[in-house]
Structure 1
Amino acid sequence: MAQDLGDMNYLVLVVDDEPVNSMLMNKYLQEMGISCVLASSYTEIIESVKNHDFDLILMDYKLPDRTGIEISDELRVNYPDVRICIQTALECEEITERVENGFFAGFISKPFRRERFYREVRAILKNIQ
């Protein structure tokens, strides 16, 4: 079941162009007591980041206008402390290297598994308490 994250009020940006994936992550985050904002395009991501102070961004790798890596690189320029967790069905060397070197705070594989999703999100958020 959902993992207790204490009394912290977290805000997460969920980035995915597939509505089913966004809604599933939204549901899981709500079960964990976490608020979220949904974005499905580059423009929505940039606008959301300008208007909110996110504790975590769950970034899809494959988006219609750019890759999650390209957008993450750009976000790091203006928001160097933002925590980004890449989520994808792909496993490639570039993603693995960026997780290992700390560029990405974590990796969530698709298809989503509830308990694994909880563990990864909880681990990332616990590190900022």
Structure 2
Amino acid sequence: MSAKILIVEDDVVFCKMLTRFLSKQGYEVRDAQNGKDAKELIALNTFDLAILDYRLPDMNGIEILQHMRAEKAEAKVILITRYGDDEIAAKAIEEGAAAFVSKPINPKELTEVIHQVL
């Protein structure tokens, strides 16, 4: 059975590209472009991994991570941050994220992080 991944990224083009890339890697992928839609997907699905962008139009990735933990979601979390957002990355790890990846994202690096986390 392939791992089920949630991607939450407000850049639609990047989100869809990442969704296609991971689907071709054999993962079952769902995506959302904002926190509201992400919360709906979390309520309706069980994910093995969530890849969360920090900056979203209606909330941030750490808030989604906190929501997941409050809902007892067991998914591992990778937070995506812009290069140099070390404070945000540290906060994400403190809140339970398994890893963080800086933008711009190298697909090979992301794949390696996913394999480490899962």
TM over 0.5: yes
State which structure, 1 or 2, has the greater radius of gyration over its C-alpha atoms. Answer: 1
**Partner of residue 108 from structure 1, selected from 93, 101, 104:** 101
Give 1:34 shift.
0.6
1:92 aligns with 2:101: no
Q: Is the 8 A contact 1:58 1:87 kept in 2?
A: yes
Q: Which residue identity lines up with residue 106 of structure 1 in the other structure?
A: A
Q: Which residue identity lines up with residue 90 of structure 2 in the other structure?
A: T
Alpha-carbon distance change, 108 to 35 in structure 1, aligned in 2, over 3 angstroms: same
Give 1:64 shift.
0.4
Q: Is the 8 A contact 2:10 2:57 kept in 1?
A: yes
**Could you say what the CA RMSD is over the residues aligned between the two structures, in angstroms?**
1.7
Give 1:124 shift.
1.0
Q: Is the 8 A contact 1:28 1:118 kept in 2?
A: no
1:59 aligns with 2:47: no
Report percent identity of matched pairs.
26
Distance 1:34 1:80 in 2: 19
Greater strand share, 1 or 2?
2
Distance 1:111 1:94 in 2: 16
TM-score (structure 2 length as normaliser): 0.88
TM-score (structure 1 length as normaliser): 0.81
Unaligned runs of 5+ in 1: 1-7
Say which structure, 1 or 2, has more relative contact order (CA 8 Å, 6+ apart): 1
